[in-house]
Amino acid sequence: MKRKVLAAALVTVMMMSLIGCAGSGKEDTAEKTDTGAQSEAGEDEKGEEPEVKADAGAESGEESEAKELVPISFRLNYTAAGLHAPFYYALEKGYYREAGLDVTIGEGTGSGTTAKLVGTGDDELGLVDSASVASAVANEIPLKIVCPIYAVNGFAAISMKDSGIEEPKDLEGKKIGITTGDAPSNLFAALEAANDIDDDTLNYVTMDAGAKVTSLVNGDVDVILAGADDQAITLQNMGHEVNVMRYSDFGAATVGLSIVASDKMIAEHSDVIEKFIAASMKAWDECRADSGEAIDIFMESYPTLDRSNAEGSLGVALESLFAKDSQTLGDVSEDDWKSCRDMLVHYLGVDESIQPEDIYTYDCLPSELPAK
């Protein structure tokens, strides 16, 4: 568990050292600063459970309030991008502090790694896709999804506008750029099955994920299997018109990026998780109405990133918040979870022993969430 050394504790030590020194006429004061948006992995102590910090003596009301905040380390799925902006918005607006939480946001190096960090207690909460959660559980890493952010995944078959590829059957006879082992490529089999695509007619071209955009632009392939919230945005901001065929629109909708917690965290601190979800969803809901301020706040933390890419990434994220039957943010039905589990098992190689209830729990969801 990450702890922060309170400035007030230092004050107490200094005051004790001055006992017996007559006539100084001085009093030391200190203020606790707000938590920054980022924390490096390994920078602080880890592995302990969240707890309310104890009173360290006579302090100002602000310091006393700060001491009652529960420290939470929230790990992103990957390096910061526009799709993460609502979390930074919630932090800057003080929504987490209002909920009694002292949140730090750390960048990730992939959903699989974030799943491990959360499952082992190095971070309290994280942002992970459902496939990585299922794989982690199959490998005996104890964690679950506590709240979906993307009710449907952001995977897509992306082609140039003038290619004439607008429906799944149009993919037959085309060259398809894939990356061995990545989720968009693996789940493509589900898209094929749902749309009766003849796989024998497809010509797969294997490449590194970083080469997909260039390969499509150069005409080396007709289609790439990638992210609607990533490569598609990059291509558009390069000035290219593209067709983005989302899997979720054609029968292959697994749950996407979601807030996750360890089984231990869920069992012992479900109230803390619920507060984090409520504050985060408040931010996501406000970004639905006006995402501009969230992007402004995000760009303050990452000024070297391309603003257009950040805006486009968040735009796709906001389009991924609801499944067909969702009533609120974070709402995925039991039927959709079962469908998600089945696709993960059949097409992404997840162990068939994994059941839907091994992947998610409703136990930490707030009783009220923003409506669809």
8 A C-beta contact, residue 149 and residue 259: yes
pLDDT in tens, 202-258: 999 999 988 999 999 999 999 999 999 989 999 999 999 999 999 999 999 999 999
Measured in degrees and rounded to the nearest 5, phi and psi for residue 70 equal: -90, 120
Q: Would residue 301 count as lying in a domain?
A: yes
Residues 227 and 265 in one domain: no
CATH code assigned at 165: 3.40.190.10
Is pLDDT above 50 for 14? Answer: no
* Maximum CA extent, the chain: 91
Residues 106 and 213 in one domain: no
In this structure, what token pair is assigned to residue 332? 């995925």
- The pLDDT of residue 17 is 41
In this structure, what token pair is assigned to residue 322? 């609801």
In the listed set 223, 250, 277, which residue is the last one of a domain according to the structure? 250
**What is the span of the domain harbouring residue 346?**
7-151+255-359
Q: Would residue 107 count as lying in a domain?
A: yes
- The pLDDT of residue 12 is 39
pTM for the model stands at: 0.78
In this structure, what token pair is assigned to residue 152? 């449907």
pLDDT tier for residue 181 given thresholds of 50, 70 and 90: confident
Residues 138-147, mean pLDDT to the nearest whole number:
96
196-213 core/surface letters (b: 16 or more CB in 10 A; e: else): ebeeeebeebebebebbb
- The pLDDT of residue 180 is 85
Q: Would residue 66 count as lying in a domain?
A: yes
Residues 136 and 19 in one domain: yes
Q: Which residues contact 126 (CB under 8 A, 6 or more apart)?
A: 74, 75, 76, 77, 108, 114, 115, 117, 118, 259, 260, 261
Residues 23 and 94 in one domain: yes
- How far apart (Å, rounded) are the C-alpha atoms in residues 236 and 334? 36
Residues 36 and 78 in one domain: yes
pLDDT in tens, 281-316: 999 999 999 999 999 999 999 999 999 999 999 999
More confident residue, 46 or 284: 284
Residues 101 and 36 in one domain: yes
Nearest CA to 144 out of 370, 364, 306 is that of 364
- The pLDDT of residue 67 is 65
Residues 254-283, mean pLDDT to the nearest whole number:
98
pLDDT tier for residue 50 given thresholds of 50, 70 and 90: low
- How far apart (Å, rounded) are the C-alpha atoms in residues 271 and 124? 13
Residues 235 and 300 in one domain: no
In this structure, what token pair is assigned to residue 7? 């400035």
CA angle 315, 316, 317 (to 5 degrees): 90
Work out how many domains the chain is built from and give that number.
2
Residues 188-203, mean pLDDT to the nearest whole number:
96
Q: Would residue 368 count as lying in a domain?
A: no
